[in-house]
Each structure stands twice: as structure tokens, then as C-alpha cells.
Structure 1
């Protein structure tokens, strides 16, 4: 599990089971069921980090879904993922 994903779990521990459940699989609507917008956004971001999603992630989604501290945290995670061992760059 990548460090950025671990930081999501530290901040949103209620997502831990779902993140472990999606390892190797795609995030599906069922995986996202019952989550609020912040939780859903960070679960999708974890899917991206762990390589379970296509290699696309739309930053506009973050702007529509998050604000203030949550948006800043998401961008910190993206920077961490891209610059610390990611093959995405």
C-alpha cells in the first residue's frame, strides 16, 4: 500500500476496510455506496493511487467535491504519490 493511501486511512479510518477490499479490483458503485462526498472522493483517490482505476483522475472532480482543508490534503497526497516512487511521471 502506498504512503498516500496510508495517509487517507489515517485521516479517514472508516475507509480502511473498503480500501483493503478494493486492492486489485476497480472501485465500483457498490464500493462507494453509503459514503458521503468527502469519503467517496478520497476512496476514489485511493483507487487511483493503488492502480485499480484507469490512469486518469480528473482534478476538476476534487474542486467540485472538496473545499478548504480537504482540497489541500488531496493535493498534498497527489504530490506525494507523484514524487515519491510513482511511475506516473
Structure 2
């Protein structure tokens, strides 16, 4: 299974039973009809990742059915596919920030804190940022704030110490 497909399955574990490597998988409109539009996009994308010579993927579905975090996830998976799974980009000259790497955006920062025992969601994180209770972002790109993973880990330890 490709790294990019695994990344999709982290968010949509139920899609695994519909992948070609699973013997019970049936790639058909019937399978897709039981999924919502977002799940359909990610399943079609996984089908493409697993068998790019026989499956195709239309980027129009990103435009029509995804936004915000889902669109970021989809683009991150495409980047991962071409960088890690196919090696078609051998010597990258362009760097992108992705949620799973070195930097975390506001949503991912809140998820990181929640995953590690603190009660945070995007709304609470937004309030804490506006009140200056969260470290300032390490980088801001096109108005989107990003924190280095180390900054997030330090903040987590400080918050745990306060409890």
C-alpha cells in the first residue's frame, strides 16, 4: 500500500475495505453510491494512487467537493504520492508546508493538543490565540498561521505542568 493511500486511510479507515488490494473490493458505482461526496473523492484518489496505470482521477472533484481542511489533506496526499510513492520528483526545488510534517496549522495544533490529553478544539484554539495565550506562530503564509512541531510540544508540556 502506498504512503499516500495510508495517509488517506488515517482520516477514512472505513475506505480500506474498498481498495483493490482487498480481495472483497468491488470498484463500482455501487460502492461509491454508499459514500458521501468527500469519501467518494478520497476513495477515487486512493484507487488512483494504488493503480495509476489503470485508474484515473479528475482534479475537478477537488474543486467541486472539497474545501478547507479536506482540500489541504487531498493536496498533501497528491504531493506525498509524487514525492514518496512514485519518485517522479527526484530533486525537489519547491517546498510546501503540510500538516503532517514539520509545521502544524491551527487545526492540526488543536488536534495535537487534544490527542495528547488536553481539551482543545479549533474554537478554543482561536480564542487562546486572540488572547495571546498560545505562542505566536513560527511562520505565517497567506494569512495561515503555522507552528513548528517543537513549539507545539513545548506548549503542550507547559500546559500539562499547569494542570
Asked if the contact 1:47/1:53 (under 8 Å) is kept, the reply is no
By how many angstroms is 1:15 displaced?
1.0
Q: Can you give the 5+ residue segments of structure 2 that lack an aligned partner in the other structure?
A: 90-163
2:83 matched residue in structure 1? 83
| Matched residue count | 87
In structure 1, stretches of 5+ residues that fail to align are: none
Which is richer in strand? 2
CA shift in 2, pair 1:84/1:23, >3 Å: same
Between 1 and 2, higher relative CO (CA 8 Å, sep ≥ 6) is seen in 1
Computed over aligned residues only, the root mean square deviation of the Cα atoms, in angstroms, reads 2.4
TM-score under structure 1 length normalisation:
0.81
- Residues 4 and 81 of structure 2 are in contact (CA less than 8 Å); yes or no, is this contact kept in structure 1? yes
- In structure 2, the CA distance between the partners of 1:68 and 1:7, relative to structure 1 (3 Å rule), is same
8 Å CA contact retained: 1:23, 1:52: no
Q: Which runs of 4+ in 1 moved over 4 A?
A: none
> Max radius of gyration: which structure?
2
**Post-superposition offset of 1:88:** 5.8
